Amino acid sequence: MALKVGLIGCGNISGIYLKNSQRFSAFDIVACADVNEARAREVADSYGIEQMTTTDLLSSPKIDVILNLTVPHAHAEVILQAIEQKKHVYTEKPLSVSFEDGKRILEAAKLKNVYVGSAPDTFLGGSIQLAGSLLEQGIIGKPVGATAFMMSRGPESWHPNPEFFYQVGGGPMYDMGPYYITALVSLLGSVKRIAGSTKISFPTRMKTSEANYGETFKVDVPTHVSGMVDFASGATSTITTSFDVAASRTPFIEIYGEKGTISLPDPNHFNQPLLLKVHGEKEWNELKPAGDADDNLRGIGLADMVEAIQNESEARASGQLALHVLEVMHGIHQSSEQSRHYEMETTCVKPLLLKSKYINTEE
């Protein structure tokens, strides 16, 4: 039986979750809430679901799971309120904007015996799942290293009000890092030690989108963030996320093994082709996952968590994984601020490969 989901936060990302609710039989979104009641009414009318206040939705006995799509600064508050009501929670990334709040969330969930899961669930798409299958088969041998790059000029060129990207809890690492770090951890396992270097390249930025062109605003967080990550498995990785780069030819993610290399596409997508080159071969081989390369499977992590709840098993896009990823981002910044290595407190289990009608990891 499908679990009933209540959605809080009716912004742009809510549309794909509501649309995909029809694809995944494990859950059914039945109600929504937003601080902007007019927006919630519009979403409710568009998708034929019930509009509720946030308070009523959180306490409703009809709701089994809260889907938290609020802004990052509200994540911890909403999640903790839901847990207090003994609701399971699946949240958009990041789990919270502070590592301490992330720990509080998992402690509270354990006390109330509820599940917490978190986006990004793009690592459950065909691209990263196929890469995981190649690693399990030993196609490139033991992984020795990896690289990850998210290089851009920042969102002020397209977003009319980009200030929040540059406030505490924002920046390129907290905004986009979860996609890259979650992919790496899902493939290489948990992280044990980090060295970081961060900087604010430009103390003020100018909006260049049409709506508010020419307005300037202050930058409060690092906008060029690099980390050296040591995995418990022995592999190492570098990761750089930046809002300061005009152009780049770096790969998105590459995994380097004893016998070959896997070059992965943008981890913000699900089923893009990947490249494989084994030592001694002259050319790269393009491997295409099953399904449409442009398909958006957002919600697959929620579906997997609901099935885990029903089966009393471990969810793949779990709170444990999300907290570990959050600590990696926290640790990179902390290492730079304190000019020393950061030793990880948390660990996590590498998620099992997912096999479903949407994902095919067979060669």
102: its two tokens: 């992330």
What percent of the chain stands above pLDDT 70? 98
Quick one: average pLDDT of 10-33? 95
**Other Cβ atoms closer than 10 A to 171:** 27
| Cis bond before residue 172 (omega within 30° of 0) | no
Quick one: average pLDDT of 235-242? 98
198: enclosing H helix or E strand: strand 191-199
For the chain, the first-to-last Cα distance in angstroms comes to: 33
Question: What is the per-residue pLDDT across 82-112, written as a single tens digit (0 to 9) for each?
Answer: 999 999 999 999 999 999 999 999 999 999 9
30: its two tokens: 């039945």
CA distances to 156, 201, 215 from 218, rounded to whole Å, are 12, 12, 11
Whether pLDDT at 28 is above 90: yes
**Start-end of H helices in 152-198:** 171-188
The predicted pLDDT at position 359 comes to 60
Whether pLDDT at 363 is above 80: no
pLDDT band of residue 159 (cuts 50, 70, 90) is: confident
Whether pLDDT at 271 is above 90: yes
| Cis bond before residue 351 (omega within 30° of 0) | no
CA distances to 11, 67, 104, 198 from 81, rounded to whole Å, are 20, 13, 12, 34
User: What gap in Å lies between CA 240 and CA 177, rounded to an integer?
Assistant: 9
The predicted pLDDT at position 169 comes to 83
Domains annotated on the chain, with CATH = 3-118 (3.40.50.720), 126-292+325-343 (3.30.360.10)
Question: What is the per-residue pLDDT across 41-77, written as a single tens digit (0 to 9) for each?
Answer: 999 999 999 999 999 999 999 999 999 999 999 999 9
Quick one: average pLDDT of 315-341? 98
- Work out whether strand 65-68 and strand 88-91 pair parallel, antiparallel, or are unpaired: parallel
Q: What is the mean pLDDT of the chain?
A: 95
Question: What is the per-residue pLDDT across 166-213, written as a single tens digit (0 to 9) for each?
Answer: 988 889 999 999 999 999 999 999 999 999 999 999 999 999 988 899
